[in-house]
Every structure is written in structure tokens, then in C-alpha cells.
Structure 1
């Protein structure tokens, strides 16, 4: 019997030593971000910083990042029937999704801000929404819709009295049960149909009034997210015209309302979130607002979800920037850290500039929303125009910025384990959700035509920086000429809204950002001294000042 050989290392083991790779970006406070914190203080929510830091620590933890990964790898599954053949129309989620939902709802990111009378509550909620988006975007669809439904529902005080206390709860209570038996509710909306899409007035879902004051709906919606939410605002054709209705999944007596989920959408991104095609057939509903005024009723909800689109895109850009900045800080190429290579410094600084402009604008809109809820009509008018402008531009820029950030990681960024592919797949969504680029550009034209107070408020905001930078002043003069011309206005709408966004961002940065940041923005975005890609900032740019503003 031979003696076994002494154990020894495999001769190829040395090839598996890992060098020149960055450590995981985990175990940090994502709220420790100078641009975010300055914006929160400036917009009146400084008293909420402790809560934001608690959420930031959670969002930056390895455990929460694992939840985000698992919720996207194990996608929602539709269960149309139970084992006995009974129709149930339920969606099953991975436990990681429920942990994300619990964290966001308990942090007050759903409807809680509407029950907080203190100034700055909506700004704090917006900043928290950004932190949660940087962790995982998909689960925030139901969170966003729950936030947005409250002002629309208030147009029917009797319904608001019943549902608002539960919609503003900080308790995540999943599962389909009678609303009164739950500690917290989530809301969604059903607007689009396959034959109409954006043109909701082409909807064919029909509503028939009943003797008891309720309505019955019959029709098919094309894209309704989060079908396990407790209630939905739905557009349907009543005798008096297109109207808005409240549709609960479970009726007050505990019986299931008819809400047949035909299928879940197989989407490019946003994989953790279930988006569905529900069918209504004698579905019980309650009228919200006036009959025939459905679009006007639900527009309050759309305005709030558009704001969340801006917040989400600003956050998605910032999340990608954080990954890129972290990678180049540790990676060595050609004998030097990537972060010290002049061209890479240009790329990351340019991404940081884009991100700061987006974040600053997003928080300014959140501040306007907060003050508008407290009766500030000038801020309400500003929000009417600036939300469309911000929604168009910040959402348009996110895919390009995320792609550039992914490239900073090279092949590592193309690997699912890096998290960058998920950020990349998520990037186009906000540009589509709640109105594509064309919809928002045309909405800007409607606001200019019908609401002169909106342009006055926008003008006041931009001119607050008058005289501080000649390039900004020149861009504002050019924009005023574009706005004054009505010839071919729809054809030029994208050109005008893009210029409006850059001028607004320039005004905000000139007033609130460090001088080097404002100078670089005006030089590269307003004076035309830039190429078509990121990383084309001119020699003489204070790159160190821009890189000091990174989120990690």
C-alpha cells in the first residue's frame, strides 16, 4: 500500500490571485453626498438629515445590495389560478423584494409626506427616494404611485377620508385583504390601453353607473404596474365623458374585485417590478372627481409621478457615477491609477458635472412641490413648466451618462455582478414612463400657451442669476427669442425644451454650486465648448473641484 503524497498547493493556484481589482462598494452611507445634502438644506429639509443618513447607511450596506440583486434575478411570477382552479390573479415576489418595499415604505417614501405638516417634508421624501433609487429602482414604482395618488384622491373627500390614513402609513402590509383590515395601503393607476397609449381619450374601457352610487367597469388596460397594490385610479368612459375611478383589488366586504391579470410584461429593465395587463369585467369602482373630468382629476397624480421620474433619473445617473468613481480610484493602468489619468479625469469630472446639474434641478423641483402644497402659487406655476422641462432633459441624459459610466469599468462593467447592466437597462425607463420626450416637449408648449404665470415663474427663477455669468445671460436671451416665436413651434419643441433645461440648470448652479462647477457648466453646456461625448471638458477646467463633489 503506497503512502499518500504530502498535500501541496496546485501549481496553477498562483494564477488565481486577485490583484488590481477595486473592493466592493459597500458599507458606506450613500447620503454622505455633498450635492445631495446641500440641496436638502437649501430646499428647507435640513431637519430631516438624520433620517436620510439612516436610510443612506442601509442603502449602502452589503445586505441591502444583496436584496437588490436578488429581487432582480428572481423576477415576479404570475399566479392566475390556485391549485383547485379558482381564479386568484396574484403575483408572487421574492422575499428580497418585500425587504426593499418594507425599507422604503417605513422610511416614509410612499404617502407619508402628505401627513407631515412640517415644511420640507416632501423634499426629505424626494431625497430619500433618490437614495432608495440608487439602491434599486424597480420596487419604487408602487412607492411612487402611492405617493402620487393622494392629491388626486382628495378631489373626492369621502374617499380620501377612508383611504388616505392608510395610504400615508409607514407600514408595509402586503397581501390582498379588505383595506380596512390592513395597516397600510399601496396604490397604482391604470391609464393606457393598447389602441391609445398616450392618447388616453381614445380609451374604450366603459363605466356604467349603479343605483347604489358605485360604477361597473368593463375593459382592458395595456400597462398597469404593481398589480398587487391595494387600489388603483383608472380612467374609463362614463356617459359624461372620460372619468377617473377608484378600483380596489379587494372590496370592503372582503370579496375579490374582478381584476384579471392577463399577463406580466417582459420588460427591458425594471425587472423586480411586475407590470401587467389587467382586464375589468363588471369590476366595482367609485368615481373620483367630477364625471367627464378624468384627465384633470388624474393629472395631479401624473405631475407627482413625473417629479419622481426626474428624481429617479438623477439618482440613477448618480449611482452610475458612484460606481465609476469608485472603480477608477482603485484600478491601475499603465503604471498609474485610472483616477490620475488626464483623460479619465475629464470623463469622470464631466459625468460629475452632469450629475450635479441633474440632482440640483431635481431637488429644486421637490422644493417647489413642497411649497406649492402649502399654498405658494408662484411655486405651483413654476412647477407646472419646470417639471416638464426637467422630466424631458434629466431623463434623456440618463442613458448616455450611465453608458459612459459603465465604460469606465471596461469589461467589468459589462458583467452582471457589477450591477452596471441593471443600471443601464433601467436608464431609458423614466424617459418613457409618464410621457415620452415628445409628450413633455409638447406639454411645455401647452403650458406656455395656456398658463402665462408658468412662464413668468420660470423667468423669475432664471433671472435670479442675471449678470452673474455672461454665457448664461446670452443663452437666456437666445431662449427668450425661441420662446417668443410661435412659428413651427411643435417642430422646434425639443430644441426649445432642451435649451430651457440647460438655462435653468445653469441658473441654479451659478447661484448655488461652487464657482468652478458653475463655470465648467456654462462653458461646456451653454457656450457650446464641448464635444458630443462625455470627457470633452476644455483645458483650464478645474477638474479637482468637480471631482471633489463625487458621491463617494
Structure 2
């Protein structure tokens, strides 16, 4: 029987390429923020993550989602989550690359900018598979907090920085490497953690200090197979932070009961759960009643990862769109050669590069805590980057999917990556504080010290590069001083983000990118959708710069 048709005009999958070498905006951002940074490890990571084999593991980890087993076949409570082998392989790769703990590994000859190095690797890994990076991010954020309990840190610190991933539930003494999670929010409170009802009652003391028994629940308890967690509970002196291991030193399982796994829109490879604590053993981290400041410090680091993660997803969505349109023809020529498609692709490329520039700039601030300007930038740009980059991510993901047409909407094969990226996009905007929380946090940060002057100093190097940027930079101090109500906090967060992005691009990107970004985002020569750049834009130069191959 003859075939009814020949398959043609279908693009080859985007595979077998180096994610780092082909990402010019990321390499330029690294050169600007950490010019002495050795990048060979990133090049090797980019080669690995761009391989077809790793893409297959990413797909399998999302197709074969985590399964909860509350009891074994004999009726004993075990509260274990089973993952597909591809999930564990991806975790092994991420831990092996140090994405969970590079900045905390004190090694001779370590990179002078470990947070920037780690940020770039985190972005690259997000392009492959973002959801399993949740425990990686939480380990990164939680590790330094353990210094407030010296005994726990002595036993756990080195293993939290280990490059070995060991998924088995065993006492820390029997493991070569461990991971950490967090449990903060409850049903009745969400972001308002002061409304938590989980109780902590003092029990006794041991080698890790004052031991408490924790009774209550957590509504979002992500990555429940981690080796330990930082949780919030109400102690006699108020809301406090506790270290709660999954397995106790004597080998017994701690009293953590996993009620169910969340059925989420995306983030499928990662297990997010609801749990109850039934007198679970935990040890105080820091002082009683100081849980809020401690969680805010950890939240700052996970918010950085939200900005990094969405930047990586933007890059992946853009790369998929460019790959498809370069090979797919319509109306007599490749899609990428169609003028209106060029406008769409160039507009998305501007958004992706600006996100990368801002996220890596924020990581630089984490590398220089002793520098007062960098400390203020970390305080201001963390909520700004998380707010704006994560808001823009979902819009870019939808537009990139449209570039692929119906192929972008299906869940199979190479093109199915786009659907996975799109479903992942909203998470980073919600996790660790949604938009309003970030905008209000910016207002609080602007009231600290010389924050307004620090922002002006940050924008100063780009003065004179574009009239629209100069106008915005001139207007921001007065707007900040005059803001008497929080009702315009989102608009302020947006404009601070755009001003900093434009300033960074003016120092790192070619004129075609800088001019188009400032004219559209700051100068008003733009519509309300991607693909509405002005006719004078150098579309070809912008698209060429963004090409993944």
C-alpha cells in the first residue's frame, strides 16, 4: 500500500548543541559582572545539558511523575515518594555541578564570584528541566541559615555542599551528600506566616542543642524526600525557625506524615506535598521568636532563583521559537524571514536578554556583601527582579508557543518542550511571594539607608546613552519620595526594573539591542503585545544575536 504523503517542512528538534556557547547574552552578562570568572565548567555543563540524552531524561521525569507511598505492603507507615530514575539522574547532574552549594564550598582556588558562577549554571539547567531544581534551590538558601545552630552545622554543613547526590533515607552520618527543603506556609495563612498555628514544645537537650516537638501542618511542603527541612512553628517566645531532619540520628523516621502530593499545573517532576507533624523532633535555629527575619533571609536567595529560573525558561522558549521558525517555511519563505515574524522574535529576544542581564547582575550583589552599594542593590533588586522577570515570563512563553503554532501546544516529542516550559512559567511568579508581596517589599527596601542614592548610582554609567532612559532615571527619585500609598507599588517596581535593565544593556549589549529596548520599553514606541517594535528596529541584528545555533 502506498503512503498517502511524504513528511516535509517539519523542523528538526533543537538538540545536540551547547547551551552556554550559543547564549551570547549570558556570556556578555558574565563578562560584565565577573570578568575574571573561569567559564570552562559552564561550557562543559552547557554541552551536557544540550544533549538529546539529557532531554530524554527531562521528558521522562515529567511524564512519569512522583508517586506517594504512605505505607509499605505490611501496613507500616513509610511516607516515601518514588521518583522515576531519570529524576534521580537529573538530580545527580545538578548536585554534581554544585548548583545547590557552590558558594558555600570553601575550597582553594574557588571562583572569586561563586554566586555568579552558580547563577549561570542554574539558568542553563533550567533550560533543560526546571522543576527538579526546587530542592537544589532550597538547599542553596537553607545552608547558610544553619550557621545559627553551630552543632547542626558541624554535622550537616559539609555534606550539604557535597557534590554527591544520595536519595536514600538514612541518618546524616551514613550519607555522602544531603539536601534540604523548607516548610513555611499553612492553609490559613499562605504568605502571612505570622498566622501559622503549628506548635513547638520544648522537650530536652542533646548534641544539637534544645530539642522541640513539632505538632501541626504545612500546606506546601516541597520536595518531601529531602534529608532535612527548615520549618516555622510557634514557640513560647513566638514564631521560630527549626531544623527538622527526615531521619533521626538513631535511624528512626521522624514523625512527618505526608498527606498527599499536590496536583500542579506544571512543575510535574517535583513532588510538592501537604504534611502533618505528629510530635516531630526539631532543633532550634537561631533565637526563639526570630523566625520571620530568618525566613526573609532565606527567601532572598530563593527569590534570586525565581528570577534566574524564569530567565532560563525565557531563553529556552526563545531558542525553541528561533529553531522552529528558521526551518519552517510558509508562504514561500522561512518563517524567520517573514518581516512580522522577525518583529515578534526580535521583541522576545530583547525581553530574554534584559532578563538575563538583570538576573546575573543581582547574583553579583550576593557575591559582595561587604560592599555597601552591593548590599543595597541586593535588597532592592531582589524583589524587583523576581516581580518583573517572572511577570514577563508567562507572556513570552505564550508568544513563543504561538510561533510554533499547533506543534507548540502538544505534549509529545521535541516540540512538546514548549508546552512544559509554558506550564512552568507561572510558578516562579507565585513561589516565595507573589507580585504584590514583591512590590511591597521594594517599598520597604527603598526606605532603608541610602537606597534611592544607590539606585541613582547604579543607573549613572548609562547616562547619556538614550534619552528615554535619562528621563526615567531623572523621574524615579521624585516618584519614590512622593509615593505616599502602596497602590502604585507595582508600577514603581516595573519602572525600576526597566531602568536597571536598560542601564545594564547599555553597558553589555550592541546598539541595536539597546536602542530597540529603550525605544520600546521606555520610549513608548511599542504596543501591548510582543511583535510591536518600531519599523526602524534592526530586527536582523537582534535575531542573529539570539540564535541558539
The question of a shared fold, defined as TM-score above 0.5 by the shorter chain, is answered with: yes
2:542 aligned partner: 546
Tell me which of 267, 277, 281 is aligned to 2:278: 281
1:382 CA drift (Å): 0.8
Tell me the distance in 2 between the aligned counterparts of 1:19 and 1:548.
25
TM-score, length basis structure 2: 0.96
Tell me the distance in 2 between the aligned counterparts of 1:185 and 1:386.
30
2:490 aligned partner: 494
1:106 CA drift (Å): 0.2
Q: How does 1:365-404 map to 2 (within 5 A)?
A: 365-372=362-369, 375-404=370-399
Q: Deviations over 1:181-223 (max 9, x none)?
A: 1000100100000000000000000001123221110000000
1:25 CA drift (Å): 0.7
Where structure 2 has 5 or more consecutive residues not aligned to the other structure, the ranges are none
Q: Are 1:25 and 2:14 matched, yes or no?
A: yes
SS at the partner of 2:241? strand
Q: CA RMSD in A?
A: 1.1
Tell me the distance in 1 between the aligned counterparts of 2:547 and 2:292.
39
Tell me the distance in 1 between the aligned counterparts of 2:442 and 2:547.
32
2:194 aligned partner: 201
Query: Is the Cα contact below 8 Å between 2:436 and 2:490 reproduced in 1?
Result: yes
Tell me the distance in 2 between the aligned counterparts of 1:307 and 1:437.
14
Query: Is the Cα contact below 8 Å between 2:30 and 2:37 reproduced in 1?
Result: no
Query: Is the Cα contact below 8 Å between 2:60 and 2:84 reproduced in 1?
Result: yes
1:551/1:286 CA distance change after superposition, 3 Å = farther
Tell me the distance in 2 between the aligned counterparts of 1:47 and 1:198.
37
2:131 aligned partner: 138
1:46 CA drift (Å): 4.7
Between 311-320 and 541-550, the greater mean CA deviation after superposition: 541-550
Query: Is the Cα contact below 8 Å between 2:456 and 2:473 reproduced in 1?
Result: no
Q: How does 1:152-167 map to 2 (within 5 A)?
A: 152-167=145-160
Tell me the distance in 2 between the aligned counterparts of 1:278 and 1:27.
41
Q: Are 1:421 and 2:416 matched, yes or no?
A: no
Tell me which of 293, 299, 303 is aligned to 1:302: 299
Tell me the distance in 2 between the aligned counterparts of 1:537 and 1:107.
39
The structure that has the greater radius of gyration is 1
Tell me the distance in 1 between the aligned counterparts of 2:360 and 2:222.
26
SS at the partner of 1:452? coil
Tell me which of 117, 124, 129 is aligned to 2:117: 124
Where structure 1 has 5 or more consecutive residues not aligned to the other structure, the ranges are 1-9
Query: Is the Cα contact below 8 Å between 1:112 and 1:169 reproduced in 2?
Result: no
Q: How does 1:37-436 map to 2 (within 5 A)?
A: 37-44=27-34, 46-116=36-106, 117-212=110-205, 213-372=210-369, 375-417=370-412, 418=415, 419-436=417-434
Query: Is the Cα contact below 8 Å between 2:186 and 2:193 reproduced in 1?
Result: yes
Query: Is the Cα contact below 8 Å between 2:200 and 2:215 reproduced in 1?
Result: yes
Tell me the distance in 2 between the aligned counterparts of 1:123 and 1:509.
18
2:512 aligned partner: 516
Q: Are 1:446 and 2:444 matched, yes or no?
A: yes
Query: Is the Cα contact below 8 Å between 2:241 and 2:288 reproduced in 1?
Result: yes
Tell me the distance in 2 between the aligned counterparts of 1:147 and 1:138.
15
1:45 CA drift (Å): 6.2
Q: Deviations over 1:480-500 (max 9, x none)?
A: 22211132x211111111111
Between 223-232 and 414-423, the greater mean CA deviation after superposition: 414-423
- How many residues align? The count is 537
1:437 aligned partner: 435
Between 220-229 and 118-127, the greater mean CA deviation after superposition: 118-127
Query: Is the Cα contact below 8 Å between 2:241 and 2:286 reproduced in 1?
Result: yes
1:547 CA drift (Å): 1.1
